[in-house]
């Protein structure tokens, strides 16, 4: 089985090299010496979008190399947002309460959205950081206007704040971190029962 520690080290080095206030706070004191978990490879349709992307940095290139051996997941069912969404949405937890490496303190991994996807407003208790690894995606926070985001921007979602993403022609690959709340919580949407 492919050793994913190379992906974990590249993920860590990518973040450590960035200089952003919220990110520094997330990473402060975090021990990256994580125990690996044996997870079977699990592919989902959205993974098809990864290979054709021209990687502009090491992290995306290493992710693409590992993609077929990772345990990809989806939080939703067709009843939530329909079939187009499920064919063009997915994530992999590199580390966290259920990922390829074990941590109860922080979760981290990758979200992938295909073109033409609308990920509606949602929120969760954990504080979150996203860093897009591709250009051309649109992000809304606290029900504000959608803004286009570029590779390497740090997008911070405080605990419980509403956020939404949209893609247009380009797929989105983004690194994510969760900290300070239940690491496997299913996000809540407007209209959900509390």
Residue 176 CB, nearest approach to Fe ion (Å): 7
Q: Tell me the chain's radius of gyration from C-alpha atoms.
A: 16
Q: Interface with Fe ion by CB under 5 A: which range of 8-16, 56-64, 78-86, 125-133?
A: 125-133
Residue 81 CB, nearest approach to Fe ion (Å): 15
Cβ-based nearer residue to Fe ion, 53 or 177:
177
Residue 183 CB, nearest approach to Fe ion (Å): 12
Residue 165 CB, nearest approach to Fe ion (Å): 9
Which string of DSSP letters, residue by residue, matches 64-132? HHHGGGSBEE-S--HHHHHHHHHHTEEEEEEEESSSSEE-SSEEEEEEEE-TT-EEEEEE-SSEEEEEE
How many Å apart are CA 83 and CA 13, to the nearest integer? 36
Q: Interface with Fe ion by CB under 5 A: which range of 26-34, 96-104, 122-130, 167-175?
A: 122-130
Distances from the Cα of 27 to the Cαs of 83, 93, 97, 179, 186, in angstroms?
36, 17, 17, 10, 23
Tokens 């990518």 sit on residue = 14
Q: Does 128 bind Fe ion (CB under 5 A)?
A: yes
Cβ-based nearer residue to Fe ion, 150 or 186:
186
Cβ-based nearer residue to Fe ion, 93 or 128:
128
Q: Does 93 bind Fe ion (CB under 5 A)?
A: no
Residue 111 CB, nearest approach to Fe ion (Å): 9
DSSP state of 25: H
């Amino acid at each position: 089985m492919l050793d994913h520690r190379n992906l974990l080290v590249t993920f860590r080095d990518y973040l450590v090299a960035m200089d952003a206030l919220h990110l520094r706070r997330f990473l402060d004191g975090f021990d990256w010496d994580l125990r690996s978990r044996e997870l079977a490879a699990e592919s989902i349709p959205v993974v098809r979008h990864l290979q054709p992307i021209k990687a502009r940095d090491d992290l995306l290139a290493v992710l693409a190399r590992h993609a077929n051996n990772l345990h990809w997941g989806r939080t939703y069912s067709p009843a939530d947002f329909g079939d187009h969404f499920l064919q063009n949405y997915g994530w992999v937890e590199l580390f966290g309460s259920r990922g390829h490496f074990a941590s109860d303190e922080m979760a981290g991994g990758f979200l992938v959205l295909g073109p033409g996807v609308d990920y509606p407003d949602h929120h969760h208790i954990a504080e979150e950081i996203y860093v897009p690894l591709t250009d051309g995606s649109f992000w809304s926070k606290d029900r504000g206007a959608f803004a286009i985001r570029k590779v390497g921007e740090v997008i911070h979602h405080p605990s419980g704040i509403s956020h939404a993403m949209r893609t247009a022609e380009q797929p989105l690959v983004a690194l994510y971190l969760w900290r300070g709340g239940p690491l496997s919580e299913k996000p809540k949407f407007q209209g959900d029962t509390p």
